[in-house]
Structure 1
Amino acid sequence: MITRPRFAKGTFMDTTTAKGHIFTMLDVDGDGVISRQEYLTRPERAAAALGRDAADPLVSAARSAHERVFASMDANGDGRVTFEEYAAWAGGDAFDEVCRRALGALFDLADADGDGTLGRAEFTRLRAALGNSADNAAKAFEALDTDGDGRIDRDEYLASIRGFVTDGASPMAEALHDRAGSPA
């Protein structure tokens, strides 16, 4: 089982621990592996929470992007990703090659007006669909909304996730992990 230690505000987490947080969130049933089924249900969970129909082209794009991510991280092709596989795979290259597109597609599902930003309610619904508490999602929104305009830009959202995976630092992830046991 992956433990999720707390970390002090403004500090870095080692990348193995950061990857452990993400792995634990993706391992929905907690059995120590990310199954193909678990991973590929993310777009459907997000779509349902965000009021998108399964036939929506944005849902199809998210599904396709997630299929590419899973194929990329499942090194031995057995339909199950262990933490060791995930930790070896996850990083800047994987993020840039496949994860950015999949996470961006989820962001797009939440972006109801298609303006490239999320308001607090959209952001909270997206993060709740991905397993975060509403309280932690609100804190994460505040951490990302540095200019106080009430909007989160797609690029800053993706940069924050990339920073967590590659450097163990992210104002959004810090807020999402405010309580031990809260997914990222």
Structure 2
Amino acid sequence: MDLITAQRLVFTMLDADGDGVVSRDEYMARTRNVALATGRKDDDTLVVTARTLGEQAWASMDANGDGRMTFDEYAGWAGAEAFDTVCASVLGALFDLADADEDGALNLPEFTTLRTALNNPAGNAEAAFAALDANGDGRISRDDYIASIRAHVTGESSPMGEALYSTGTAQALGGR
């Protein structure tokens, strides 16, 4: 998958209302949605951390400060450096919200809860989990999760990313 296609898939997922622009509210809803899906309260330390990191990420993405991000703004911002300095910590904080037993890994229900709260279809989440759980132990580590999303958003091969962000999950997995 080429870089622009990968970026468009992520942008489409972020654009929850489908209007072609990601608003600050849409982006910040990610933390709220995961907290609600996992039964965490607003004052939970993990929720506060995820919200704070989300605010920092939004400030970095919304360079002109208008509260809206177009695809062109996103594509100009997104990349390895932005992922490493901004996105990885936000994604890690959201992962931690879903890690109910705090063991540093997600099982399929936790992963599906996380990804559906982030606007991915449940079928995509299940296919993405299968693609990432290479050893078949039923668990995905935080590091593997973040590395796979990084590979996807930087245009590298990421079967999990392709499954997660595609609307055609079967096609993204090569018909598996």
Runs of 4+ more than 4 Å apart = none
Q: Which residue of 2 aligns with 1:63?
A: 51
Q: Which amino acid aligns with 1:123?
A: F
1:123 aligned onto 2:111: yes
Name the TM-score, length of structure 1 as normaliser. Answer: 0.88
Give 1:169 shift.
2.3
1:15 aligned onto 2:3: yes
Distance 1:89 1:178, change over 3 A: closer
Name the TM-score, length of structure 2 as normaliser. Answer: 0.92
Distance 1:59 1:83, change over 3 A: same
Query: Identity of aligned pairs, percent?
Result: 60
Give 1:131 shift.
1.3
Higher deviation after alignment, 50-59 or 150-159:
50-59
Q: Which residue of 1 aligns with 2:145?
A: 157
Give the whole-Å Cα distance in 2 for the aligned partners of 1:44 and 1:178.
23
Distance 1:64 1:137, change over 3 A: same
**Cα deviations across residues 75-115 of structure 1 (Å, max 9, x unaligned)?**
11111111111000000000011100100000000001111
Q: Which has the higher helix share?
A: 2
Aligned Cα root-mean-square deviation (Å): 1.3
Mapping of 1:1-184 within 5 angstroms? 13-180=1-168
The answer to whether the 8 A contact 1:111-1:122 is kept is: yes
Give 1:51 shift.
1.4
Distance 1:23 1:141, change over 3 A: same
The answer to whether the 8 A contact 2:128-2:164 is kept is: yes
Q: Aligned residues, how many?
A: 169
Give 1:168 shift.
4.3
Give the whole-Å Cα distance in 1 for the aligned partners of 2:8 and 2:33.
22
Give the whole-Å Cα distance in 1 for the aligned partners of 2:15 and 2:111.
22
Q: Which residue of 2 aligns with 1:6?
A: none
The answer to whether the 8 A contact 1:18-1:168 is kept is: no
The answer to whether the 8 A contact 2:13-2:165 is kept is: no
Q: Which amino acid aligns with 2:154?
A: T
Gaps of 5+ in 1: 1-12
